[in-house]
């Protein structure tokens, strides 16, 4: 028997080595996926029509969880946030239940049952009002033309005038006639605390026919002045 043959590992040892290498790859993949899900990005399922036509029922979106830590949400951003004060009743909670293993690995969207998704209209210090003579919202006294609303959609059929506390947000759904947002909780807690923000939506990734990179409609709020004394949330 040659020395080269004697040095060759047996088939059983090759099998064990292969299994260990595969296991190591799986463990590393799970750790990376868990880290991404915990700190970087997360997938969510859209259970209701409150953000139509921007987001449709059954859409899946990716949320940047790092953004709120380094670049607080701005006016116009779409955010996912934890329910601030029982905005959701039991019958509003999503019935979608993802596969827990796939959700843990980041391969399935999370059940958004205790989170909501809305658009930021006002941040800390802003005054948000409805409405001017043309039916437009005003932010810090400046009327805005909300190009993301469906044609013919009234910005709000409910009058209000609020000043957003520092470190909070005033949020509204794009489907204004079917969105129980900040407007509907003025008697309790209409503002979303910054610490409740999970992340900013940056991509509609499913279904493929809806695949869209999301960006903030900066032109809508371009003429809005900063509030006196407070420059942001």
Active-site residues: which are they?
50, 118
CB neighbour list of residue 44: distance below 8 Å, 6 or more residues apart = 60, 61, 63, 80, 109, 110, 112, 115, 117
Exposed, middle or buried by CB within 10 Å (0-12, 13-18, 19+), for 162?
middle
User: Using CA atoms, how far apart are residues 226 and 96, in angstroms rounded to an integer?
Assistant: 40
Rounded Cα gap, residues 166 and 194, in angstroms: 9
The tokens of 132 are what? Answer: 């001017």
Contact 45, 62 (CB under 8 A): no
3-state secondary structure 102-165: HHHCCCCCECCCCEEEEEEEEECCCEEEECCCCCCEEECCEECCCCCCCCCCCCCCCCEEEECC
Q: How far is CA 28 from the centre of its chain?
A: 27
């Amino acid at each position: 028997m040659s020395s080269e043959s004697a040095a060759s590992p047996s088939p059983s040892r090759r099998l064990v080595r292969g299994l260990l290498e595969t296991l190591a790859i799986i463990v590393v993949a799970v750790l990376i996926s868990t880290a991404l899900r915990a700190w970087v990005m997360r997938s969510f399922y859209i259970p209701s029509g409150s953000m139509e036509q921007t987001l449709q029922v059954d859409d899946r979106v990716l949320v940047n969880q790092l953004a709120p830590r380094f670049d607080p949400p701005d006016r116009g951003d779409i955010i996912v946030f934890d329910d601030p004060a029982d905005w959701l009743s039991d019958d509003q909670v999503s019935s979608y239940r993802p596969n827990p293993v796939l959700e843990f690995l980041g391969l399935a969207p999370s059940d958004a049952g205790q989170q909501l998704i809305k658009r930021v209209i006002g941040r800390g210090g802003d005054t948000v009002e409805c409405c001017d003579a043309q039916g437009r919202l005003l932010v810090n006294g400046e009327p805005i033309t909300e190009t993301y609303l469906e044609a013919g959609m009234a910005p709000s059929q409910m009058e209000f005038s609020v000043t957003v506390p520092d470190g909070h947000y005033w949020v509204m759904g794009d489907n204004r006639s079917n969105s129980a947002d900040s407007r509907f909780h003025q008697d309790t807690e209409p503002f979303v605390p910054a610490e409740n923000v999970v992340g900013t939506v940056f991509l509609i990734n499913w279904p493929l026919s809806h695949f869209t990179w999301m960006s903030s409609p900066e032109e809508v709020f371009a003429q809005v002045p900063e509030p006196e004394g407070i420059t942001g949330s």
